Amino acid sequence: MKLEIQIGGRKRAIELARRDGRLRCTLDGRAIEAEAVEVATSTYSILLDGQSYEVRVSELPDGLHISSGGEEFLAQVHDPRAWRGRGGGAAQAEGRQQITAPMPGKIVRVLVKAGDSVEAGQGLLVVEAMKMQNEIKSPKPGTVERVLVSEGQSVNAGDVLAAVT
């Protein structure tokens, strides 16, 4: 998974992959090996270069609030797979929108049902891939026309998960 993260006004390119139970990370082209385990809700134990860190992460409207070792950071994460039309003058999706799986994984939560009203950016489903949970969000305000998956179901990249009108 490739991400762009902005912390303190500085953009960083990060690529994450899980192999052999370890998190392999490339930060601005430099390889880093880490082990990360979620020890409690939104709290992670991270072993990085022989150092252990406890990191707490809170997702708020202005970005991720990350605290570790008495320091707090604000990070904006830009996922190239995510739809970027959430406010800020960007055009909203129009008409019927099919929501597809961005990657292969397993549906761990279905947050809506057919007939529910949703806002642009509202979570519809949660897909687990590479031991990371990814919330799939609505590209537009509207009504959930149908949900085609259920919790525990495996999906492939590109599979249609739901439709919003």
Q: What is the mean pLDDT of residues 93-110?
A: 83
Residue 73 has pLDDT above 50, yes or no: yes
Specify the pLDDT at position 22.
63
> Mean pLDDT across the chain, nearest whole number?
81
**Among the three residues 13, 44, 78, which one is the final residue of a domain in this structure?**
78
Q: Which of 38, 4, 8 is nearest to 23 (CA)?
A: 38
Q: Are residues 18 and 46 in the same domain?
A: yes
Bridge partner list, 23: 18, 34
Q: Are residues 9 and 68 in the same domain?
A: yes
Does residue 28 fall inside a structural domain? yes
Q: Comparing 17-26, 89-98, 123-132, which segment has the lowest mean pLDDT?
A: 89-98
What's the structural domain count of the chain? Answer: 2
Q: What is the CATH number of the domain that holds 37?
A: 3.30.700.30
Whether 161 contacts 32, CB under 8 Å? no
Whether 121 contacts 86, CB under 8 Å? yes
pLDDT level of residue 112 (50, 70, 90 thresholds): very high
pLDDT level of residue 84 (50, 70, 90 thresholds): very low
Q: What is the mean pLDDT of residues 76-89?
A: 55
Residue 65 has pLDDT above 60, yes or no: yes
Q: Are residues 72 and 101 in the same domain?
A: no
Residue 82 has pLDDT above 60, yes or no: no
**Among the three residues 16, 43, 78, which one is the final residue of a domain in this structure?**
78
Specify the pLDDT at position 153.
94
Most confident of the ranges 21-35, 43-57, 103-117: 103-117
Local structure of 49: helix, strand or coil: coil
Specify the pLDDT at position 144.
94
Does residue 7 fall inside a structural domain? yes
**Among the three residues 26, 45, 78, which one is the final residue of a domain in this structure?**
78
Q: What is the CATH number of the domain that holds 142?
A: 2.40.50.100
Q: In percent, how much of the chain has pLDDT > 70?
A: 87
Does residue 92 fall inside a structural domain? no
Does residue 134 fall inside a structural domain? yes
Q: Are residues 48 and 106 in the same domain?
A: no
Does residue 86 fall inside a structural domain? no
Q: Identify the H or E element spanning 39.
A: strand 30-40
What range does the domain containing 150 cover?
A: 97-164
Does residue 105 fall inside a structural domain? yes
CA 70 to chain centre: 25
Residue type, 121: G
Q: Which residue has the higher pLDDT, 77 or 125?
A: 125
